[in-house]
Structures are given as C-alpha cells and as structure tokens.
Structure 1
Amino acid sequence: MKVMEIKNVRKSYGNKEILHGVNLSVEEGSIHGLVGRNGCGKTTLMKCMTGIYKQEEGEILIGGQPVYENPEVKAQVGYVADSNQYFDHYRIDEMVEFYRQMYLSFDQQAFFDYNQCVGLEFSKRIRELSKGQSMALASMLNLSIHPKIIIMDEPLSGLDVIVQKQVKDFIINEVEMKGMSVLISSHDLKDLESFCDSISMMKKGKIIHEGTIDDVKSDFAKIQVVFSNGLPNGLSEIPGLVTYSNLGSIYTMILTGYSNVIEKTLKEMGASFVEEIPMTLEEIFIYSNQ
C-alpha cells in the first residue's frame, strides 16, 4: 500500500522550472532513499512533500489526501530539514515542551529514551549545538511524534559514527514497531544501500531510476572482459555501452541492457573471458550522472 504518491509534480522559482514532472511513491512501512547531486531538486521536492511549498502542477498525496494546506495530514508528517532553523534562544527542554504543545501525538517519554542514548544536555540552548547535535535533536523530536511518514533531508550529516548508528536504529525501530514510512536523502550511498528498501535517483529535476535496490542495480551491468589479442574494432558500438576502461588485456565495461546476446557478441569479437561482477549503488549513481 502506498503511503505517499507524487504525481507529475512541477515546481518553478520565477521563470526557472526546478521539478519537471516528478513521479514517485513510498510504500507503507518502508524506507525509501532519495539521491541526487546538489542542485538536482531534492530539497525542493521534499519541501513540496511537507506542504512548505506548493507545486504548480501535479499532486502530492499522503494517505490519499493532499498535503498542502491540510493540517490533519501535516500532523502525521515528520520533517527533518537539512538545516534546522529552530528558535535558537530556546533550551532543549523548551523545544521539547514546544513539540508537546504542537503535536497531540508527541511522546515525551520516547524522546527521553532516545536522548538516553544520544546524551544531549537539556539546559543547552539551540544556538550552542553543533550541526550534528542539531540534526540528532531534530530526528529525535520528529520521531517522537510517531508520524505516519517522516521526511528526512540529510539527517545523518554531521553526526559522529556512534550517533549516526543510534539514529538509524531509532528509525528502523519506529518502522518495525509502528509501521512508520521513511523518505530519506543522503550523500552516503553506501549507507543508503544497506538501509533502504527502495530508492529513487534524481537528475536535473527528474526521477531517472526508481525501485528496489536490486531493481535499480539491474538497470546496469559491470562486466570484465579479457581480450588477449588487444582491443577489437567496434567495441564502442556495443549496444548500451556507457563506458569502459582497461588494465592490460582486462577490460571493465559498464552497460545498460546487458544480455546473453551481448556476451555472445563479445566472444565473437575475440573475448576469451566474460564475467559479470557486482555493482554498488555509488557506481550506478556516478555512471547515471555522466
């Protein structure tokens, strides 16, 4: 069941269109990663998802209801921004009280339990926190709402490795125990690969790949080929070839749409050895943005 549906969303700033007909969905009780280069439109899309911005075209539905100017839906959405602009003169305990008054579902005991692991001092003012501490605070506050869906823009940025693992454990526990859904962006693709059920890749305001990690990986193939007699003519004409490199007689090729037909073609061109090897999400991201 889809908890969030984004249908043909377009968003512009002045005369510049940032989002070009974006389509994306998040399954209930899943963790969905959103990746893309800086400036590709991720943060703009997330602000549309949370109802901060209104799109010019398309629909953004949470639980089948539009999010923009819908307080009932917004109350079910947690949002951790990439830069959390809280009241910087507030102490942490005052921020907790603010959330308690703002959200009927806010679970103060859950926040205290989270902070037992993270160890923020309640008497500290927001302006005294490091970036990592501020991100940890935002994550704990929003998870304590027990939202239907939480949207997190680079929430692990600035966290040390211990707190990073703790925050990931908090997220996973909320998904498993409460059925919460997550949409999370991160520049650490290795982390997302081990953490997410599905993923969307953005490029220049569009989604270029979407699906489970395995689905996205299946769009590309990395193969090692041995040409004992040197590079054959016509290699660059292989269908779906993205790029290739070599170390001596061993060539590493990246392709889309790899098949037995291409393997046969390579052997006919003189390949004495052809083997497909695993690709990482990071490699796919790099080759998708070339």
Structure 2
Amino acid sequence: MHRLDISNLRLEYGFKRVLWDVFLRCETGKVLGLLGRNGCGKTCLMKAVYGELKLRDQYVGIDGKVLLTSERRPEDMRYLPQHDFIPSGLSVKRVFGDFGVDFERFVTDFPEFEQVYRKRIKAFSSGERRIIEAYLILTSETKFCLLDEPFSFLMPLHVQKMKEIIHREKATKGILITDHYFEDVMEVSDELFVLRGGKTWKVNERKDLELLQYIKESDGIQDR
C-alpha cells in the first residue's frame, strides 16, 4: 500500500487566501473526492500536488518521502489536467505506446474506438479526447492519479463507464478526483472533502454539503 500526504499548502493572491493549511491523505485502494465552487482553488491544489505550481509553503510526500522536485515521476504520480494535454499530431498508436497502456483492453471498455488505432488525436471530438486522456492516466502504471474534471464533455453512458474504470483501477493505486458533476464524484469516492475558504472540510453525509454552502437545498441543486 502507498500513501500520498498533502499538508500545509498555502497560496495567496494579494489579500485573498486561495489555499490555507490544506490537509489531505490519499491511499492505495481509495478514491478521494474533492468538491468546491468555481474559483475556490481545486485546480491550484492539483497543480501544487503535481509540482506544476510551486507554493511558498507546502508538504507533498509519498510513503513518508517528501517530493521536492517540480517534476513528478510517472511511476509515482499521473495528472489529468482540465485542458487537453496530448499533442494533436500524435497517433493513438503512439500515445498508447508512450503510456504503456494496452489498446485492446481499451477497446474492450470502449468498443466504439476499435477502428481508431492509427488516427491522430486531432481527429477526435472533445469528448472522445477526454475519454482517451482520462483512460491513459487511470490505467497506466503509477501509484497515484490526480483527475481534474475527468467527466467533462462525456455522455452519460461514458461517464458511467469511466466510474467503473475508476473503481477497478483503485485496487492498485490511490485516486484524487475533482469534478463539477458532484453527484458522480460522490458516487465513486471513498472519502469526500469540500474546499472552502482555502481549507479542506470532511464530508460525512450529504447534509454537510449544505452546511458548507456547496449546495443550496437538500434536493442537491448546486449553487453555480
């Protein structure tokens, strides 16, 4: 089992505290869900953990060993950003090879991609690209996956399949996920937190989302 510890993350823009004394722990076999309103700092948190954003104060460590470098090793951590990250000119064959992921297994999960092995990434829609990129991050050899908006642009059928893959892959890795489709995040998460006021607050039941002002009413309408 592996453990990812995140603590003391502090980020300020002027007088605004974006992250302040954040604490999270993600372990192999668990999905850690992170919710929060737009602009609350979820993406900043993900980037800081991955090393893309350097903070003045932070602790990020795996199995008790602090990660000091700006670059994370793929075998330790993979990151799915909000934006497309695979160069458009590369072929499906190339990117699956680069990530060491079995294309045939991918087709088993998404049969509609059976004939795309030699296509270039630029040929796909936003939703199709999201499926490919999220799948590569989730199924490659790594200890931890950071997923920022993995359900964006996906049809409901594909969202359900992606949740099944998340559940399957957590057997061998820890997964930190955030998405504005909070019902889906709640469904796949073993532990759930809300980022509010720069701090992380543990969610034990749905009512906590109202108390933390993440949703307005008990029917689950999100305040956007």
Size of the aligned set, in residue pairs, is 218
- Structure 1 residues 123 and 84 mapped into 2: Cα distance closer, same or farther (>3 Å)? same
Structure 1 residue identity aligned to 2:107: N
More off after superposition, 118-127 vs 145-154: 118-127
1:54-112 CA-partner distances (Å, limit 9, x unpaired): 2210201122222341767542212111112211111111212222xxxxxx3x33x42
1:227-246 map, 5 Å: none
Secondary structure of residue in 2 paired with 1:88:
coil
Let me know the Cα RMSD of the aligned residues.
2.9
Runs of 5+ consecutive residues of structure 1 not aligned to the other structure: 100-105, 222-241, 243-253, 255-277
Contact 1:52 1:68 in 2 (8 A): no
Residue identity over aligned pairs, in percent, reads 25
Equivalent of 1:186, from 179, 188, 205? 179
Q: Deviations over 1:242-285 (max 9, x none)?
A: 9xxxxxxxxxxx9xxxxxxxxxxxxxxxxxxxxxxx956x46x7
**What is the aligned partner in structure 1 of residue 190 from structure 2?**
197
Map 1:28-47 to 2 at 5 A: 28-47=28-47
The normalised TM-score by structure 1 is 0.66
Larger CA Rg, structure 1 vs 2: 1
Structure 2 residue identity aligned to 1:191? D
Distance 1:170 1:161, change over 3 A: same
Q: Indicate the SS of the match to 2:58.
A: strand
RCO higher in 1 or 2 (8 Å CA, sep ≥ 6)?
2
Which residue is equivalent to 1:116?
108
Q: For residues 71 and 46 of structure 2, what CA distance do their matches in structure 1 show?
A: 17
The verdict on how the C-alpha distance between 1:167 and 1:13 changes in structure 2, with shifts beyond 3 A counting, is same
Query: What CA deviation, in whole Å up to 9, does each residue of 1:121-173 have, x standing for no partner?
Result: 12222222222111111122122323211110010111111211111111111
- In the alignment, what sits opposite 1:274? none
TM-score (norm 2): 0.83
Structure-1 residue corresponding to 2:50 = 50
Listed as ranges, the matches of 1:61-140 within 5 Å are 61-69=61-69, 74-99=74-99, 106=100, 108-109=101-102, 111-118=103-110, 119-120=112-113, 121-140=116-135
CA distance in 1, matches of 2:82, 2:190: 22
**What do the CA deviations read for 1:34-53 (whole angstroms, capped 9, x no partner)?**
11111111001001111222
Q: For the structure 1 residues 97 and 198, does the alpha-carbon distance in structure 2 shift closer, same or farther, using more than 3 Å as the test?
A: same
